[in-house]
Amino acid sequence: MAQASNRRQDVRLEPIIFAIIGYYFGRLPGQQNERTLKQEINRQTQRADASQAAKEQALQTNEALEERIKNVKAKLFSDIAAFATTSGGHGFRSETTVRDTDLRSVVNAALRVLRS
């Protein structure tokens, strides 16, 4: 009778044990998959952060270049206007030709602005 009682307990515990073992072995691939997905999310987040930083740096560089170009244009136009005034009001619209040496200081000033 003791054996029969033990058999009944074994029969009752057997499905529970199989369920526990099945859950454990079923859960391992799920945990590994979850870990892999978290790592992929971290990699994608890092790539997005790097892209955002590169974008911000490019925008700052673009703004700086636009500012330089604006300064060069202002310098050139002011120097050309001054040159036109000092050349007797004729400037570039007259029949006189402009020599390279006349504009050298204007171009050098523009280059200094671009290098700054």
What pLDDT digit, counting tens, does each position of 11-51 carry? 678 888 888 888 888 888 888 999 999 999 999 999 999 99
Summarised one tens digit per residue, pLDDT across range 79-93 is 767 766 665 545 454
Collect all residues with Cβ–Cβ distance below 8 Å to 98 and sequence separation of at least 6.
Answer: 92
Q: Are 101 and 78 in contact (CB under 8 A)?
A: no
How far apart CA 48 and CA 40 sit, in angstroms, is 12
How far apart CA 59 and CA 115 sit, in angstroms, is 19
